[in-house]
Structure formats: C-alpha cells, structure tokens
Amino acid sequence: MSPGKQAPAREAAAPMAAGARLEAMRRRVHLSRLAAWTAIAAGPIALALAITSSPATAEAATATTSTAVRTTRAAADPGGYAQVFVGAWLRSSTDDETSAPARLAQSLAPDVDLPDPAAGAQAKPQSVVAVRSAQHTGGAWSVTVAAQYADGAVRYYALPLVSDSTGGSFTVTGAPGVVAGPARATVPASPYRVSVTGGNLTSAVGEFFAAYLTGTGEVSRYLAPGVNLPAVSPAPYTAVSVQQVSAVEQTAATAQVPGDGTTVHILTQVDAQDTSGQWPLAYELTLRARSSRWEVAALDSGEPGTAQAGGTR
C-alpha cells in the first residue's frame, strides 16, 4: 500500500479503536448495573456479592481498607502518666499547695484532693514505678503503681484514668486507692537439670567470662564462627569465678568434648568481684563443639530477642 493510502487508514483506525474501547467500557458498566439490580431482587446476600464483584467498587474498598490500616493506632499505655501523678501526689500536702509536687499533681488532676499527712507520720517515697496497666471499655484504664520507701516498705496504688479516642491523651478520673500487691507467679520447672562439674566445658565458660567481664584476653577467641559478642566496656569487674553450671542436655556433662556441631544450653552462676564487693550473677549460654573445644554460640540476657547471633534455642 502506498504511503498516501496508509495515512488515511491509520487515521480511520484510531477512532475505530477508541470507539471499541468505549463500547467495551459501556458494556462493563451495563453488566455491573444489571448484576446489582438482579441482586436487589434476589436479596441482601446476593446484593453484597454483586457489590464486591464490581471492579470499581472493589478498587474503592481496597483503597479504603489501606487507608484504615495506615491510620489505625494502638492505644498508648498510660503507665508513665500515672507514675508521674502518683509520685507528685504522694510528695504533696494540703499544707503547702504551692510546692512543686502539689502544683504538678493539681495540674494533672484538678479535682483530686491532695493528701494531708501528719508531721513525720510517713516519709516521702524514694521511688514510684508503674507495675501494671489494665484497659477497660470506653477508654477507661486502671494503672497499679508501686511506691517504695527508705525503710524497704512498698505500697501499691491503683489509679483510674480515661483516654481520648486517639489513645494519646489521658485524664485522671479519681484519687488513687491502696491495693494489695501482685501475687507471685508460679515458676515452671527449670530445664537446666543436668549438673556439670569441672571439665572442658566449665573451663571454657570461666575463660569466656574472664574476658567478657574483666577484659582479661580477647572475647573473640572463645566465640563460635559468625558470632559477634563484644566485651562489656569498660570492664566492670576485676575477677570472675564460676560457681555452678547446669545444662539442658546430658552431653554437657561428658568429660570429652563431643563431635563438631554438638550444641548444648547451659545456665551458669558466677561470682564477680570489684572494688565495692562481690556480686552473684547468672547467665544462659549456648555452647557449640568445634575442634575438640567448646565455643560460645549465644548469650541470652533474659529478654526476648536478645540472644546473640549463632545460637539456636
């Protein structure tokens, strides 16, 4: 075909293609409307199915859901807020409403009366710590706060609060109430039931902690390959001695170091000394055998997610 004839053909094809696309869009809209009216006649369940099957509606629903996910926030814990108020309230008095603690308590809860302690009847608390927060319905909270005094006594206070709709602002709704302290939880049986006395494993543990806590030697020489565990710096102690080692696996108690790759989990108790005295410490370790020696594969500080790389628990 000559170039002169090709140009008119392309010009004619463009409107035809556009018309075809427009017609296809009209058919989809028509089918969606037909499905909706059919669903209305069939009942609410069919209507819901028809709505979710509509492309435009599905896109709008997806956008709405995404927006909701982005803007939803978890309710903030008012424990710190309660701790500040109870601390100021316990250190205030109606005899001196201009003191800093009294002014702070009144600014946080203007409708709560200040205490009126007798002279010398009770010392001010040394520390105040929030120990439990419980969320109720309607944005209401109850926070239990522990107040510790110089004589070792501890008193617990429950403080009622309410949060706003965003969970970012709180208001004290009443005076604190003295409550019983939390009960002691039942401790599960320890998995470290195998006693390890002497041998290569105990020696390896002692040498590791000497480097880790006193700076004697390089920590890296006692670590399994791929494990990164820097020593405590500056070194807090001058000497460390292993007092007791308990293991999960019976293999840890064998006199000979087992084959490469053998892993054991131990709990070790050490005594650490510094210029101010002696301190009993406890650590959970994962050890792995390699080349007839035990190496530290992980140190667990007791908090979730704190085990160092290389451990398998």
Closest C-alpha among 171, 176, 104, 112 to residue 140 = 171
Residue with tokens 């120990």: 131
Choose the weakest-confidence range: 111-120, 135-144, 166-175, 297-306: 297-306
% of the chain with per-residue pLDDT over 90: 56
Q: Is the pLDDT of residue 22 over 70?
A: no
Q: Yes or no: say if 282 and 245 are a contact pair by the CB < 8 Å rule.
A: no
Would you tell me which CATH number, out of the four given (3.10.450.540, 3.40.50.2300, 3.40.1280.10, 3.10.440.10), belongs to the domain 79-179?
3.10.450.540
**Overall residue count recorded for the chain in this entry:** 313
Element (H, E) at 292: none
Long-range Cβ contacts of 225-228 (<8 Å, 24+ apart): 225/290, 225/310, 226/309, 226/310, 227/295, 227/296, 227/297, 227/298, 227/308, 227/309, 227/310, 228/308, 228/309
**Which is more confident, 66 or 98?**
98
CA gap 171, 160 in Å, rounded = 9
Q: Yes or no: say if 268 and 283 are a contact pair by the CB < 8 Å rule.
A: yes
β-bridge pairing 154-163 and 140-148: antiparallel
Give whole-number Cα distances, 289 to 27, 262, 270, in Å.
72, 5, 22
Q: Is the pLDDT of residue 67 over 70?
A: no
pLDDT tens for 284-302 read 999 999 999 999 999 985 4
**Which is more confident, 55 or 1?**
1
Same CATH fold assignment for domains 79-179 and 194-300: yes
pLDDT at 47: 37
**Average pLDDT value for residue range 211-227:** 95
Give whole-number Cα distances, 10 to 5, 7, 14, 101, in Å.
9, 5, 6, 85
pLDDT at 121: 65
pLDDT at 24: 52
CA gap 272, 282 in Å, rounded = 10
Say which CATH class 194-300 falls into: alpha beta
Q: Give Cβ neighbours of residue 63 (< 8 Å, ≥ 6 apart).
A: none
pLDDT at 137: 86
pLDDT at 293: 96
pLDDT at 96: 87
**Average pLDDT value for residue range 2-28:** 48
Kindly list the domain boundaries of the chain, sorted by start residue: 3-71, 79-179, 194-300
**Which is more confident, 249 or 63?**
249
| Phi/psi of residue 10, nearest 5 degrees | -65, -40
Residue with tokens 């820097």: 230
* 127, burial (CB in 10 Å: exposed 0-12, middle 13-18, buried 19+): exposed
Give whole-number Cα distances, 75 to 41, 110, 169, 171, in Å.
43, 24, 10, 14
pLDDT tens for 222-250 read 999 999 999 999 999 999 999 999 999 99
**Average pLDDT value for residue range 131-143:** 90
Choose the weakest-confidence range: 164-168, 170-174, 248-252: 164-168
